[in-house]
Amino acid sequence: MRFSNYMNDWLYGAEGYYASYRPIGKSGDFYTAVSTSKFFGGTIAKHIIKRLDEGFLRPDSLICEIGAHHGYLLADIIEFLHTLRPQLLQTLRFGIVERFENLRTAQKSYFDESFGNAVTLEHYSDLSELHEETTFFIANEIFDAFPCELFYKGKIGRVLNHEIFFDLEDSKITALAEKYKQDRGEIALGYESFASAMSESSKRFEFMSFDYGELEARSDFSIRVYQEHQTFPLFDEVLNRFEAFGKTDITYDVNFTHVKEAFETQGIMCAQYATQLVALVEMGILDLLAILKEHAGDEIYAQELEKVKILITPSLMGERFKMIRFVKE
């Protein structure tokens, strides 16, 4: 079995990690920006309002999250939209692209509890089901969950009984490795088809995504497993891949140049690439904190400020995570 099929089964198979609900945060295997602070989603809501005021988004646009897990990010965006511009909840539509029925059920339940009849959540199992005029797409840590091939000095990985052997050849993977100057590492699959599907789904859209990685591919393997907030390199002798399979998250650093070129091939412009620190500050996260301080007082402000610091401090999430934003006019 090629490694990409193995990783796909690990994450998305019948018993895969993402096939059932997994907690994120303190009780889960890892933290995300969403589980750290509601102001992450709040800042994206502020940006959406800016794009509405500029006329790029229409008042009846679809705000759509991809890879929403429990739906917390989209819910936080809606909560801040209601706070900052409540009338928008009467015109905007809200949706999630989610392939797993059990996760759709959990998301719907959470939205019913959070918003009652005030918000109608639309569900799509695939981007191909969308036929929109204008859309704002948002995703958090999605590109690192695309299956990849493992490449090592001209060979790609094969898995047998959870052991990895580098003895297969694939000219397309080798060409990508040469293009990105890799003699070893991860070569992601699916970015091109994802960009194509998004392009077909909406006549005009903006797509914003946050993930960890760099503009250049790493010169070594970054693939690793997260379990109860511990990190294990996939090739670590301590890691039992048989026991970890489907029960832990498996991920790798994103090559953002690969992502960028996949979208640009579809005629979709990369409008911005920045660290999470720069992106959130430019979109107004500190302005939102100032509003909170004015209305909620110093104690609540201090609590939320500590959470936001995790998002933007360079040594924590601020520099490690990147934001990339694409626009189709």
Residue 322 C-alpha from the chain's centroid: 11
Per-residue model confidence (pLDDT) at position 68: 86
Per-residue model confidence (pLDDT) at position 32: 63
**Distance between CA atoms of 15 and 184, rounded to whole angstroms?**
29
For the stretch 160-194, pLDDT in tens is: 999 999 999 999 999 999 999 999 999 999 999 99
For the stretch 35-55, pLDDT in tens is: 789 999 999 999 999 999 999
Tell me the average pLDDT across 287-311: 93
**Distance between CA atoms of 88 and 312, rounded to whole angstroms?**
28
Residue 164 C-alpha from the chain's centroid: 27
Q: Where are the domains of the chain?
A: 3-328
Are 91 and 60 spatial neighbours (Cβ–Cβ below 8 Å)? yes
Element (H, E) at 231: strand 230-233
**Distance between CA atoms of 124 and 66, rounded to whole angstroms?**
10
For the stretch 117-131, pLDDT in tens is: 999 999 999 999 999
Average pLDDT, the chain: 94
CATH, range 3-328: 3.40.50.12710
Per-residue model confidence (pLDDT) at position 29: 44
Question: What residues form DSSP beta bridges with 269?
Answer: 327
Per-residue model confidence (pLDDT) at position 228: 76
Question: What residues form DSSP beta bridges with 142?
Answer: none
The pLDDT-based confidence of 218 (bands split at 50, 70, 90) is: confident
Give pTM, 2 decimals: 0.94
